[in-house]
Amino acid sequence: MAIAAKKMSQVTTHMGIAFGLMYLLTGSVAFGGLAAVLEPVINVALLPYHERGWHALRARFAARRLALLAAEKASQTVMHAGVAFGMMYAATGSLAFGGLAAVLEPIINVIALPFHDRLFERHVLRTATVAAAA
């Protein structure tokens, strides 16, 4: 149950970032809504496969763990950029707008989502501690 709640919270956070950025850039609620629905859902669906692949690499090359962690974050940013670009280009037909979305949206998410995850984990641990004490 906690995993499903975390994923739903990640999707909601991602959607808020996508909507806010696209609304800020375009001034369009409709376009912000389109971005909020498509882009985050695709990224959250792809992320577990991305993490699984990098986990396998870190397990295989444990001595280079720090370098692999940095490479994983760079790879995650590229994945987000590809999805953001593809979605925005498909929606608008504009290479420029797709490129702008590909640069800004993934960077914001790669920075924001680890903070989200830490806060969520603290909340789950706090809730579990309170439930165990009751």
Per-residue pLDDT reduced to its tens digit, 30-49: 888 888 888 877 877 888 88
* Phi and psi, residue 93, nearest 5°: 75, 10
- Per-residue pLDDT at 1: 65
The residue type at 58: R
Percent of the chain surpassing pLDDT 70: 97
pLDDT band at 87 (very low <50, low <70, confident <90, very high): confident
The closest alpha carbon to 58, from 48, 47, 68, 50, belongs to 68
pLDDT band at 107 (very low <50, low <70, confident <90, very high): confident
Q: Are 21 and 108 in contact (CB under 8 A)?
A: yes
Tokens 């290479």 locate to 95
Interval 88-103: pLDDT, tens: 787 777 898 889 888 8
